Amino acid sequence: MADYFRIDGGHALHGTIAPMGNKNAALPLLAAALLTDEPLVVRNVPDIGDVRTKLALLESMGVSTSLDDNVCRLDARGVRDGNPDLALWSRIRTGVLLSGPLLARFGRAVIGRPGGDRIGRRRLDTHLLALRGLGARIKEEAGLHVLRTERLQGTELFLDEMSVTGTEQAVLAAVLADGTTTIANAAMEPHVQDLCHCLNAMGARISGIGTHGLTIEGVTRLGGADFTIGPDYIEVGSLIGLAAATGSRIRIENARPHEHRMTAIMFGRLGVRWDVDGDAIVVPAEQELAVVPDFGAAVPTIGDMPWPGFPPDLMSIAVVLATQSEGTVLIHEKMFEGRMVFTDRLIAMGARIIPCDPFRAVVIGRSELRGENLVSPDIRAGMALVIAALAAKGESTIHNVGQIDRGYERLEQRLGGLGAHIDRLPE
């Protein structure tokens, strides 16, 4: 049965919270279990909808899985043919990351239509070009891309875009390839680094981790490992936005402040500041948010970029923050043409937003938001609407919270611990 959130906004929050494990690290690491017939243990795995779907997808192929207390145990020794359940495949974006391991282990894989957030076109060309470069033969059959190979071969890859999942696909395929693979124009987000470190713990030989150039010396087999993924920096950024938008003092433990230098710059353009205490970020209460103009009193821009730039998944949070900051700012989403669609919900709440085109919107703050009946269109916009509802005066309802559950674990319980007036109710 579907649920919805009922939120009574306008109340300051207070307390300490820690982020869950990085969702975008957990999902490719689960696919890495297919590369070995030994057990793989992954710790700090968030118990969220997308992870549960990925585990069900692996189980449909014969992988033994369990997830208890954020510890995931996987054993792929029982996998025989590697045919995934395509219905489950289509529910999450990272189903596509099974293709590289399946090619490496069985010499055959299929790529169907990926799922995930509907925030614009999310092309698969980078994946297919990388796998073809490693020696896969690709044929379209019944609407699917069917890939075959006798054995993948090391090669020089220059990715046509700095794609996170495209980089992860190439890495997952290349670790068991014959020879050396170099990947130029590689993504270097923290979750890409986690994947590479985990694979090295399994016996892979990957160097250049944390840069845009990776070198992978193929090995003949991988073993098991016990690996702990890092905190979800998108959740940390979301919590910073929540604190600033609601005028709350929130301490975020295990925040890895060094991962938020660009977020500090972009949120700083809205007047947001925070303090660092060891590995914690402390957002002070009752900040007077005001847009900081560029030199010459020009309207500043908040835009996303590949890592170490401002993360696309925080753009929705930035829009809500901008509604609570005095002044005018341009929000420029460069990667996904559907990301700004949710702004119509904020306008209904009283925000002054001028949509310019699918990629840009001008936000004029500060707006006094009011409670509204809302529907979550995707994970990140859903979290942004939760923040807007907590900042607004009056009661809001947010439906389709299953989208939010895909990326945030027990959100209403954890925010309730900070004093948020948020309840989960059945539809």
Sheet holding 71-75, edge to edge: 64-68, 71-75, 40-43, 225-228
Q: Cα separation of 6 and 398, whole Å?
A: 7
117 is catalytic: yes
Q: Cα separation of 31 and 48, whole Å?
A: 16
Sheet holding 327-332, edge to edge: 301-303, 327-332, 360-365, 352-357
Sort 350 into a burial class: Cβ within 10 Å, 0-12 / 13-18 / 19+.
Answer: middle
Choose the catalytic residue: 117, 194, 313, 378. Answer: 117
Q: Which residues are catalytic?
A: 117
